[in-house]
Amino acid sequence: MAGEFVVPVLLWLAVIKLLHLGTWPALDRTLGNLSAAAAYPASILLFTLGSWYCGLSGLPVWLALLPFLAAIVYAGSRRFYTRERLQSALSWDLAFLIPFLFMLEVRWINPTISYAEKFMDHAILASIMRLPTIPPLDPWYAGGTLDVYYYIGYWMSGVLGLVSGVPSTVTFNLVLPTVLGLAVVSLYALGHLLLDRYRWLPVLALFIPNPSAIYHILIGDAWFDVLWGSTRTIANTINEYPIFSMLWGDVHPHVMSFFNQGFLLFLLVFACMRWGTLPLRGRALVCGLAALALGSMPGFNSWDVLVYAPVTLVFGLLIWWRYGNLTRDREKSWMMLAAVPPLAIVTYLPFYLQLNSPGIGGIGIVPTPSEPVEFLLVHGFFLAVLIAFCAPDIRKRPYLLLAAVPFVLAGYPAAAIAAVPLVYLLARRRFAATDTLAILGLLIILATELVYLKDNMGETYFRMNTVFKFYLPAWILMGTASLAVIGGWLERADIGRRMPARAGRLLPVLAVALLLAAPFAINVDFGYGSHTLDGAAYLEGSHPGDAAAIAFLRDLPGDHIIVEAEGGDYTYYSRVSSFTGIPAVIGMPFHEYMWRGDEGRISERSADVRRIYEQPSRTIELSRAYNATLLYVGAEERDRYTVSIPTEALELIYDAEGVQIYLCGVEGAEREGSLRKGG
């Protein structure tokens, strides 16, 4: 890796380790040998929460580091960090670092902020890092804030970048390595609860492709088509799976939430399996951590809470039933059910009160469900494992197969497939952790065959977001359950004990070597520029004028609003606001329409931007109407509009390589003050 990026990476990792060390001692008495693992995701969530409240209070976000530093000093004074204890945590450090390095290699090969949702992802990240206030400024809607969107994942990423001193264009490429590392630690810890051996198996849920990807490989598709085709298997929907989302590289809410999903599942399963051995303080701590994870979900990705709030309630009921027989028992088994939901709401209550999203327009019945073959190409591997898991029950009670018949008769054959293992797992009434995870995952994929949440995606793609956003949690739930089932089979087969000791030691080393070599063995370079961690570096070759002007604007102090060309979504337009975080009058209009609806008057803003560039008599008037201070004229503006601006009435503050930047919207003393602020 290029030497200039070693220091930013080390600073980033140093901050994460500092947070980890500050959190670990508080978890040790309750979580024992799993405390060092839980401290990784818990510390990130705690720092995100603390820094968010700093931003809400108008305080510097770095103050959120102080409690962690104080905790380290206190624990150090009590000799917590002994050599033996630090060595015991080494496996968890490696569980974080190895996938971090794997994903860092992927981002180094394919780092650019240039396609799919990457302009949006970086725009929000840059906006937060430029001015970390609550709610953050919307970079594509001047005068607006991001209270219309779930931005907590971007806040987490941005404040980590701020306190580590890493610029946003590099921070962008450190986020997914961090998310993957945290997710691996969470699922590896979950594996320690579900399995006595082969505890790494649940981690594979993050790395295995769906059967559709295997199909595309077998028919000889190119690598890009394998990735893309396997996530567009069910007609008019998106069916991503974790490793695709990671390789695709969008720093998007549905991806950033992976680690939090894994962490919450670990906590719920831990509580379910060990509640009876925990003192009251330990139970309260587990409930508090679960509330922290659940409470942040609407801010990370609001769709997740629609899954994990019910999941939490199910586990809460299961704990109460198992340990307290649904009574007010001495073990306070009802605590998870009664305490976690309200605590989750209180944790981020100001976020919920500020939220101004149009939300969901209701629930609809799916008129055109998935074709069975498509359904199996997405979920077939997990379904096969779970049906095999239920095979003894199927032989004993074949009549339960009739439960699938109503779904077939109603025209929902894919739902019928999911109903088979679901019915048998429910009929067992055992509700072990693995069974419960499988049941919950199956319920999700069955439900999404029957109903969908109404949004503004239109008639053709009416089901796209429902499938997209619900299939990922279903993948994690069914994936961890199925892989735990396989682990149980391997344990009973006693395969590991028959393996020579030397081979047992070499296999993990070989697996790590293969993982770290994989990014170079497969083609993860999509042709947008590579071999850097700076996501904006490609601009110097493809758009040198913009590259220099954006560098100027990134260093420009003061609060600004910029006028730049608007040219639709998923295009190079809106690039200045995206790379600088300076709000534009309007950018990526369909995104803004999804967030703000008709009340946002998006088309009116787009028309006003055209008038600013094409009607010189209205340039200053309209700029002032939006409080714009900067007017950007580059190649995209000249291509999009017939540029005719009153240059004599504007102050030219930048002119190089075909790009001019004017000061606009202010006059007299205001102009002089802005110029002094802007250099």
Q: What is the pLDDT of residue 3?
A: 67
- 620-675 pLDDT per residue, tens: 999 999 999 999 999 999 999 999 999 999 999 999 999 999 998 655 334 444 44
Q: Are residues 44 and 175 in the same domain?
A: yes
Q: Are residues 509 and 604 in the same domain?
A: no
Q: Are residues 516 and 664 in the same domain?
A: no
Asked whether residue 88 is domain-assigned, the answer is yes
- 360-372 pLDDT per residue, tens: 778 999 999 999 9
DSSP string, 2-41: -GGGHHHHHHHHHHHHHHHHHHHHHHHHHHGGGHHHHHHH
Q: What is the pLDDT of residue 677?
A: 38
Q: Are residues 510 and 562 in the same domain?
A: no
Q: Are residues 409 and 558 in the same domain?
A: no
- 253-307 pLDDT per residue, tens: 999 999 999 999 999 999 999 999 999 999 999 999 999 999 999 999 999 999 9
Asked whether residue 283 is domain-assigned, the answer is no
Asked whether residue 594 is domain-assigned, the answer is yes
Q: What is the pLDDT of residue 247?
A: 93
Which residues lie below 8 Å from residue 545, measured CB to CB, with a gap of 6+?
634, 635, 656, 657, 658, 659
Q: Are residues 514 and 369 in the same domain?
A: yes
Q: What is the pLDDT of residue 1?
A: 46
Query: Last residue of some domain: 206, 224, 240?
Result: 206
Residue 653: phi, psi to the nearest 5? -115, -5
Percent over 90 (pLDDT), the chain: 84
Paired with 655 in beta bridges are 660
- 395-438 pLDDT per residue, tens: 999 999 999 999 999 999 999 999 999 999 999 998 999 999 99
Pairwise CA distance, residues 365 & 452, whole Å: 6
Tokens representing 267 are: 């906590």
- 451-460 pLDDT per residue, tens: 999 887 778 8
Mean pLDDT for the stretch of residues 530-550: 93
Query: Last residue of some domain: 185, 206, 227?
Result: 206
Q: Are residues 153 and 14 in the same domain?
A: yes
Asked whether residue 561 is domain-assigned, the answer is yes
Q: What is the pLDDT of residue 245?
A: 96
Number of domains into which the chain is organized: 3
- 459-494 pLDDT per residue, tens: 888 899 999 999 999 999 999 999 999 999 998 887
Give the pLDDT band (50/70/90) at residue 501.
low
Q: Are residues 62 and 196 in the same domain?
A: yes
Helix axes of 168-194 and 464-493: crossing angle, nearest 10 degrees: 40
Q: Are residues 505 and 593 in the same domain?
A: no
Asked whether residue 422 is domain-assigned, the answer is yes
Asked whether residue 597 is domain-assigned, the answer is yes
- 36-78 pLDDT per residue, tens: 999 999 999 999 999 999 999 999 999 999 999 999 999 999 9
Q: In the predicted model, what is the mean pLDDT of the chain?
A: 93
Helix axes of 118-130 and 168-194: crossing angle, nearest 10 degrees: 100
Q: Are residues 564 and 487 in the same domain?
A: no
Q: Are residues 380 and 504 in the same domain?
A: yes
- 574-631 pLDDT per residue, tens: 999 999 999 999 999 999 998 998 888 999 999 999 999 999 999 999 999 999 999 9
Q: Are residues 502 and 604 in the same domain?
A: no
Cβ atoms of 573 and 557 closer than 8 Å: no
Asked whether residue 500 is domain-assigned, the answer is yes
Asked whether residue 86 is domain-assigned, the answer is yes
Residue 147 domain boundaries: 1-206
Where do runs of H (alpha helix) occur along 275-396? 280-324, 335-347, 349-354, 372-389, 391-396
Q: What is the pLDDT of residue 676?
A: 36
Paired with 662 in beta bridges are 631, 652
Query: Last residue of some domain: 140, 174, 206?
Result: 206
